[in-house]
Amino acid sequence: MSDSDSQPVPELEPMLAHSAYVRALARELVYDAALARDVEQETWLVAMANAPRDPAAQRGWLATIVRNLAFKAWRSAARRRTRETVHARAKSAVP
């Protein structure tokens, strides 16, 4: 792979200036401290892989990532609860 094929490495320092905001937003949206930390970490992984085009829009861009990941985590937890409930009913119905 040549240098022209690789994507530029994003500037991390300007993004990391928003770390307290990202952490607070994740905690506000998820309510579970451990899950909020997972959402925060996943946010930084996405941010490192796909830097925003406009550096001035980083805070809003990071907020969008946090919201999307928090919703994904909520959906996953809801599906897990549904599966566990169905499985528990099926297991209790077996004589």
pLDDT tens digits for range 19-63: 999 999 999 999 889 999 999 999 999 998 987 878 788 999 999
Question: Alpha-carbon distance 30 to 34, whole Å?
Answer: 9
Q: What predicted TM-score, i.e. pTM, was given to this entire model? A: 0.74
Question: How far is it, in rounded angstroms, from Cα 40 to Cα 28?
Answer: 12
User: What pLDDT is attached to residue 52?
Assistant: 81
Predicted pLDDT at 67:
97
pLDDT tens-place string over residues 61-83: 999 999 999 999 888 887 887 87
Cα–Cα distance, 28 to 79 (Å, whole number): 21
Q: What is the Rg, in whole angstroms, of the alpha carbon atoms belonging to the chain?
A: 18
Residue tagged 């490495």 (tokens): 9
